[in-house]
Amino acid sequence: MTQHEASVASVALLDLVRDISVRAAEFALEARRAGVSVAATKSTPTDIVTAVDRDTETLIRSIILESRPADGIIGEEDVAHVGTSGIDWVVDPIDGTVNFLYGIPAWAVSIAVVEGAAAGDVGGTTLAGVVVNPVTGELFEASAGGGARLAGRELAVNADVPLGSALVGTGFGYAAERRREQAAVLLELMPHIRDIRRGGSAALDLCSLACGRLDAYYERGLNAWDHAAGALIAREAGARVGGPGGGRENAELLVAAAPGLYEELAAALRAAGMDA
């Protein structure tokens, strides 16, 4: 697909992504108001899933397949649906499930559409992405080459912020050993930045970067559904988003910031023992 073709496809898909995201957000919010409890755990006892996660993803999948039956779906709560169109939907029905469980108003529905995706970390070109916070009603959206917006307002990352003045977002894994490693990196990084924020939703953290509520963001251990939509929104707002060794973001690492700050943060992370 050429760049022009990708741009045209992105605009056409964005309306559908937005509609599905809003419907899913309304469904999840109503379910949260009715009460929620842990349905199961995943990688560790602290890595939880609720019935609402599963039900919301089921709703999203059903609408996608009704609208575009040839597309594939890569979601957090169910096995991948293999499509034939070359287009895959990357779905996180509730990003920030612990926040959702505790009633903290920082969780989101995150949906991205990717052309040429692969398994695992997902490759290809992200054509469109939407992140909705159902509690606040904020809807962040972007299309490839079409910019990023919040409530119709064009977004732009904070520019010309030096590392020492940067408010940096991050998150932590569920496994005890990974948390220990992440804490050690943070201990080294803290003297070199303004402060740290841990919001609990990678999708919303990337959107916070896009709209200037954060200056930078990094995290290890993210899955594609955690960041696919948010990374597109951050990129379209002017951020550089990358991973280990300056390559593409993946489960090992995601770093995002305005280009100049990106280089400073990556260097600081390397000095702290993280391959950025």
- Express each pLDDT in 1-59 by its tens digit: 566 665 666 878 999 999 999 999 999 999 999 988 777 766 676 666 888 999 999 99
Between the alpha carbon of residue 179 and those of residues 175, 192, 219, the distances in Å are 6, 20, 11
Q: Residue range 206-227: average pLDDT? A: 97
Give the residues across from 169 on adjacent strands.
197, 217
Binding site residues, as ranges? 76, 92, 94-95, 226
Indicate whether 14 and 136 sit together in one domain. Answer: yes
Domain at 210, CATH number: 3.40.190.80
Calculate what percentage of the chain has a pLDDT beyond 70.
Answer: 92
Quote the domain boundaries for residue 109: 3-154
Average pLDDT, the chain: 92
pLDDT at 122 over 90: no
Domain shared by 99 and 48, yes or no = yes
The answer to whether residue 258 is domain-embedded is yes
Within-domain flag for 182: yes
In a domain, 67, yes or no: yes
**First-to-last CA distance in the chain?**
30
pLDDT at 135 over 80: yes
Q: Are 49 and 42 in contact (CB under 8 A)?
A: yes
Specify binding-site residues for Mg(2+). Answer: 76, 92, 94-95, 226
Helical ranges in the chain per DSSP H = 3-33, 51-67, 97-102, 176-189, 202-210, 224-236, 259-271
Question: Are 214 and 97 within one domain?
Answer: no
Q: What are phi and psi of 110, to 5 degrees?
A: -130, 120
195 found inside a domain: yes
Domain count, the chain: 2
Residue 263: burial class (beta carbons within 10 Å; 0-12, 13-18, 19+)? middle
CA distance 90 to 224: 7
Say whether both 49 and 110 belong to one domain.
yes
Residue 114 falls inside a structural domain? yes
**C-alpha span between 276 and 265 (Å, rounded):** 8
- The pairs formed by 11-14 with CB atoms below 8 angstroms and a separation of 24 or more are 11/143, 11/146, 13/113, 13/127, 13/128, 13/143, 14/128, 14/130, 14/141, 14/142, 14/143, 14/146
Q: What is the largest CA-CA distance in the chain?
A: 52
pLDDT in tens, 183-195: 999 999 999 999 9
- What number is the average pLDDT over the span 264-276? 91
- Residue 115 and residue 143 share a domain: yes
Can you name the residues that pair with 110 across neighbouring β-strands? 92, 131
Q: What is the CATH number of the domain that holds 96?
A: 3.30.540.10
* Residue that has been written with the tokens 């992200």 in this structure: 126
Which domain-ending residue is among 154, 186, 216?
154
Instruction: Look at residue 40 in the predicted model and tell me its pLDDT.
Output: 74
Q: Return the higher-pLDDT residue of 45 and 265.
A: 265
